[in-house]
Amino acid sequence: MGDVTQAEAEQDQLLSILRDELYVAVVSDVLDAGGLLEQAMDARLRPLAPGMRLVGRAHTVMTADVYVRPEEPYGPEIEAVDALRPGDVMVASTSRSERTCFWGELLSTAAVARGASGCAIDGHTRDALRIIDMGFPVFATGFRPVDSSSRSMVVGHGSPVEVGGVVVNPGDIIFGDYDGIVVIPPDRLADVVTAAHNKVTSENSSREMLQAGATLRQVYDRYGVL
């Protein structure tokens, strides 16, 4: 499974809290409050199944469309996948290609074997039902049954990429659920987790007061959250 540093171990604890106790919308609100307003990927990336939760460190990769099959089409892709470390989320830009398909079941199997925790693609996947059966969290913009080898090529991994309208740096924290995906700068993670916990408490109080018949005006004046 590779080495895990002390810093990663501490980060992993925070990631567990994201996964088990929080949700993306409340984390997005906390990022907003901290002045980070452009952290949510756009609505085109959707989870393959409603319950999928995507939590981990970004491992970035970028593809470009090609029109002849390269001599070694899979070389850089294999390298990118074999470089995954435990807790990584593959974050892939395809330049929004409607033609290729970046991900599938065998890559998911390889990623699981490396300890990766999910995949977010600004592009298509295939083998979707079998990936759902595996329980591996994949967020994509759609489905295509095709192989990538004659259609696109990995042109780099480990550099910043634009995915869903957000520039993602390697090591950024990725957090996704049914509402979408946010990107958390790693040095903000601890503060974000704390603040999100507090906001959940206020939201619970607001919800109860609304259920008891209060107007939104009364609730907002009291708790200051919507």
Report the site for a second copy in 112-141 (rule: CB under 8 A).
113, 124, 126-129, 141
Nearest distance in Å: CB 119, a second copy: 14
What are all long-range contacts of 7-10, with beta carbons under 8 Å and residues at least 24 apart?
8/57, 8/87
Q: Which of 75, 133, 82 is nearest to 107 (CA)?
A: 82
Alpha helices in 83-212 (DSSP H): 105-114, 128-134, 189-211
Q: With respect to a second copy, which residue has the nearer C-beta, 15 or 219?
A: 219
Q: Which parts of 55-94 interact with a second copy (CB under 8 A)?
A: 62, 64-68, 74, 77-79, 81-82
Nearest distance in Å: CB 213, a second copy: 6
In whole angstroms, how far apart are CA 14 and each of 11, 17, 21, 110, 199? 5, 5, 10, 25, 17
Nearest distance in Å: CB 64, a second copy: 5
Quick one: DSSP state of residue 202?
Answer: H
Nearest distance in Å: CB 29, a second copy: 5
Regarding 145 and contact with a second copy (CB under 8 A), the answer is: yes
Regarding 9 and contact with a second copy (CB under 8 A), the answer is: no
Q: Which parts of 181-210 interact with a second copy (CB under 8 A)?
A: 181-182, 203, 206-207, 210
Q: Token digits for 166?
A: 């957000």
